[in-house]
Amino acid sequence: MNDLQKKISDIGVVPVIKLNHPQRDAKALADALCAGGIPIAEVTFRAAGAADAIRIMRETHPEMMVGAGTVMNTQQVDEAIEAGAMFIVTPGLDPVIVEYCIAKNITVFPGCTTPTDYHTAYRYGLEVLKFFPAEQSGGLAKIKAMSAPFPMFKVMPTGGIGLKNLAEYAAAPVIAACGGSYMVTADLIDNGKWDEITELCRKSVEIVKEARAK
Ligand code: 3PG
């Protein structure tokens, strides 16, 4: 793992964010996440202003590890890098995007769920993969089964992870970090429930620590 991956893995939780109003919400959201002990954001390109949100978070919180999610093409990789993104996350494994990120020297977490995906990721020398959509693809049982032939990978599962199952995932050594939108839902963001977001982050960090200590 590189330094960034280690730092993300030490914290163990990656908020997956969709921000419709970056000018209004990006700084407040970054404040709330950092206050809750999760200075990490995967800002998805599912909302038009993703690059603005990344830029604002990086400018207002230089200590934060801000990346771009739901990246669908190399143009978005460029936009993300230009905005200050420190990593790229893709829903699936697109060799064109992976090769582009390697050439640009930016960490990429491609979504992988099958042995074929893992083979391709292995060929690229990747070490940490997104596992998406986690629960719907077989959850922790599948992640563990995949580890038998592919012990070289750590994974970052997202999709269906919340406070209810975070401990179970976090306890497994194969898990680098768990991603999710449960602490940054549209309801929480649109209604400015920043304290609630901070509280959910605190709880998440605590759950991860406890699960790993067992
Ligand atoms: C992602 O893109 O990683 C997922 O949509 C996050 O999944 P969740 O909303 O179920 O947490």
> 165 CB less than 6 Å from ligand 1?
no
* Helix 95-104 and helix 74-83, axial crossing angle in degrees, nearest 10: 30
pLDDT above 90 (res 214): no
Mean pLDDT for 42-65 is: 97
Q: Which CATH superfamily is domain 3-213 in?
A: Aldolase class I (3.20.20.70)
Q: In angstroms, how far apart are the furthest CA atoms of the chain?
A: 46
Residue from 158, 184, 185, 200 whose mutation best tests the ligand 1 pocket (most atoms within 8 A of CB): 158
Q: Could you give the percent of the chain with pLDDT greater than 70? A: 100
Residue nearest to atom 8 of ligand 1 (CA): 159
- pLDDT tens figures, 10-25: 999 999 999 999 999 9
Active site residue 42: yes
pLDDT above 90 (res 116): yes
Question: Which residue ranges make up each domain of the chain?
Answer: 3-213
Counting Cα atoms < 13 Å in the Cβ hemisphere of 214 gives: 12
| pTM, two decimal places | 0.96
Strand residues in the chain grouped as ranges (E): 13-17, 40-44, 65-69, 87-90, 107-110, 128-131, 154-157, 178-180
Angle at 3 between CA 114 and CA 165, to 5 degrees: 50
